[in-house]
Chains A and B, each alone.
Chain A
Amino acid sequence: ETGVTQTPRHLVMGMTNKKSLKCEQHLGHNAMYWYKQSAKKPLELMFVYSLEERVENNSVPSRFSPECPNSSHLFLHLHTLQPEDSALYLCASSREVAGANVLTFGAGSRLTVL
């Protein structure tokens, strides 16, 4: 248990489905992130919420939609996904240590798009 909880841990969905990934942290961190981890690719930052302000990677398709209702909860809404979106989606929260943001990751949600 890292302090960052992600649900579900595994998700299989069709291309026409709508689903959501959930992330929760009770570490008192004030920034939360969604990362995508695919085979043979570096971790890709998708979205950052810091003090409830959103920063996004402009290359993320609009079929991914984040929501951050408060500093402890983060969602990733998924709709009309493609098979290439199959990946491990990691949520993280951060605190600053010696001037550097240190991430605490959840265990991830393994997504398979059929």
Chain B
Amino acid sequence: TQLLEQSPQFLSIQEGENLTVYCNSSSVFSSLQWYRQEPGEGPVLLVTVVTGGEVKKLKRLTFQFGDARKDSSLHITAAQPGDTGLYLCAGATRWGAGNMLTFGGGTRLMVKP
């Protein structure tokens, strides 16, 4: 079983602060995805990173895939209350003609106004 550990599990910050969420594993993944889930909804894809060392930016969110493709981080600059939610990382491994995703336990973020 491949495990993805996310840290921290919970984070409560004030609007305007910066934060980083980590996703670590001892396994190598072909790609890694980040999702955000809001209450009463399913997870929604934020980004997919494929290449070791890759950095992707989505407005105030910066995603990085580790060089060895075992870990990833999500950095949010100047957090806003709208960023509140459960952030999930998911590592992909090849399965047949497609991929199988293993999810981390999630980081629950609350941004207070």
Sample of 7 more A-B contacts, CB < 8 Å, known A4-B42, A42-B4, A45-B101 = A2-B44, A42-B104, A43-B88, A100-B33, A101-B101, A106-B42, A107-B40
- Residues of the A chain whose Cβ atoms lie less than 8 Å from the Cβ of B97: 50
Interface size class of A (residues with CB under 8 A): 20 to 34
Chain B nearest Cβ from A108, distance in angstroms: 5
- Residues of the A chain whose Cβ atoms lie less than 8 Å from the Cβ of B30: 99-100
Q: Which residue of A lies closest to B1 (CB)?
A: A59
- Residues of the B chain whose Cβ atoms lie less than 8 Å from the Cβ of A41: 105
Q: Which residue of B lies closest to A90 (CB)?
A: B42
Per-position binary interface string of chain B over residues 22-57, scored 1 when its CB falls under 8 Å from any chain A CB and 0 otherwise: 000000001101010000111111001010000000
**Which residues of A are at the interface with B, using a C-beta cutoff of 8 A?**
2, 4, 31, 40-43, 45, 48, 50, 55, 90, 92, 94, 96-108
